[in-house]
């Protein structure tokens, strides 16, 4: 007579457990990849003129050719909801020339909301299409800052906006210290907002005479772990210190965007996990 095995039904449950785990992971991945989030920051400085108190800056970074709806309509809608006075694009918007139309259409929609300024990232230059990208941005009404500084005016006051070209660009060019020194020559006491794609400012240049740096490049650490933060660093390291968020160097604030797109294994894998694509909204305050 065959005996019943009370453990058999329990053994047959494992395929359902695996299926449930796969569905959960798939849902978390899809949510992490496509659900845009807005992160609000405040940054204050005694050098900020009173006329700029409450000035709103929206930062977009690391799009890598992705689209959030036709012509990035979802992304533009979220930017508009921030009521920006200025929109800055901090590099890595294309991986190839074929993605330029996506960036051009986005820039054209953004310039209808506020002035738009761009600084390059390593992938913009690695695409081999940086010149064509610049032409597209110009057609759309955006301005590419090539190691240069512009003045932004409001109610008779001004701040300075400086942009640093990515190191992946020209072999010989000004250093970040040179760019900041040139900006300081225009306004020794002016508030300076610096745009630079890389995420190593606090580590490499902790004493730059600026007030705020907006950067990207780190993708939030690609995969984010609860309580630990980003898993993968840009220097092929684990649990990087500078993955996303607000950092203080002692001289300035640095806000590091988690970015919007992916470029993992040359774009072959959309690897974001527990790491939503991010629109950064910064409110400037007079300390």
Q: Provide the residue-wise pLDDT of the chain in tens; the chain has 287 residues.
A: 555 555 555 566 766 555 555 545 555 555 556 689 999 999 999 999 999 999 999 999 999 999 999 999 999 999 999 999 999 999 999 999 999 999 999 999 999 999 999 999 999 999 999 999 999 999 999 999 999 999 999 999 999 999 999 999 988 999 999 999 999 999 999 999 999 999 999 999 999 999 999 999 999 998 899 989 999 888 889 999 999 999 999 999 999 999 999 865 444 445 788 899 999 999 999 98
Contact 85, 56 (CB under 8 A): yes
**Within a domain: 2:** no
**Within a domain: 92:** yes
What confidence score (pLDDT) does residue 268 get? 40
Beta bridge partners of 60: 89
**Within a domain: 3:** no
Domain that holds residue 235: 8-286
**Within a domain: 248:** yes
Contact 195, 224 (CB under 8 A): no
**Within a domain: 160:** yes
For the chain, what is the domain count?
1
What confidence score (pLDDT) does residue 269 get? 44
**Within a domain: 1:** no
Instruction: Report the CATH number at residue 239.
Output: 3.60.21.10
**Within a domain: 67:** yes
DSSP assignment of the chain equals -PPP-TTHHHHTTHHHHHHHHHHHHHHHHHHHHH--EEEEEEEEETTS-GGGTT-EEEEE---TT--SSGGGHHHHHHHHHT--SEEEEES---SSGGGHHHHHHHHHHHHTTS-EEEE--HHHHHTT-HHHHHHHHHHHT-EE-SSEEEEEEETTEEEEEEE---TTS-SS---HHHHHHHHHHH-TT--EEEE-S-S-HHHH-TT-S-SEEEE--SGGGSBEETTTEESB-TTS-BS-S-SSEEEE-SS-EEEE---SS--BTTTTB---BS---EEEEEEEEE-
What confidence score (pLDDT) does residue 77 get? 98
């Amino acid at each position: 007579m065959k005996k019943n095995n009370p453990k058999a039904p329990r053994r047959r449950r494992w395929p359902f457990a695996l299926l449930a785990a796969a569905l959960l992971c798939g849902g978390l991945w899809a949510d992490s990849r496509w659900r845009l989030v807005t992160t609000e920051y405040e940054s204050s400085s005694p050098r900020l003129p009173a006329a700029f108190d409450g000035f709103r800056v929206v930062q977009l970074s690391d799009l890598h050719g992705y689209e959030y709806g036709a012509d990035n309509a979802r992304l533009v809608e979220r930017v508009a909801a921030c009521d920006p006075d200025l929109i800055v694009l901090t590099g890595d918007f294309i991986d190839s020339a074929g993605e330029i139309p996506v960036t051009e259409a986005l820039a054209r929609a953004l310039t209808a909301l506020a002035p738009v300024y761009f600084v390059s990232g390593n992938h913009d230059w690695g695409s081999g299409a940086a010149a064509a990208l610049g032409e597209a941005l110009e057609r759309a009404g955006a301005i590419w800052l090539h190691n240069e500084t512009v003045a932004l005016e409001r109610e008779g006051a001004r701040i300075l906006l400086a942009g640093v070209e990515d190191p992946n660009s020209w072999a010989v060019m000004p250093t970040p210290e040179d760019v900041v020194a040139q900006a300081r020559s225009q306004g020794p006491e002016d508030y300076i907002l610096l745009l630079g794609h890389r995420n190593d400012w606090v580590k490499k240049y902790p004493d730059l005479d600026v007030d705020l740096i907006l950067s990207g490049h780190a993708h939030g650490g690609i995969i984010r772990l609860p309580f630990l933060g980003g898993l993968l660093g840009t220097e092929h390291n684990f649990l990087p210190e500078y993955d996303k968020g607000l950092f203080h160097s002692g001289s300035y604030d640095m806000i590091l965007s988690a970015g919007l797109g992916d470029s993992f294994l040359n774009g072959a894998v959309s690897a974001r996990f527990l790491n939503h694509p991010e629109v950064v909204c910064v409110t400037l305050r007079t300390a």
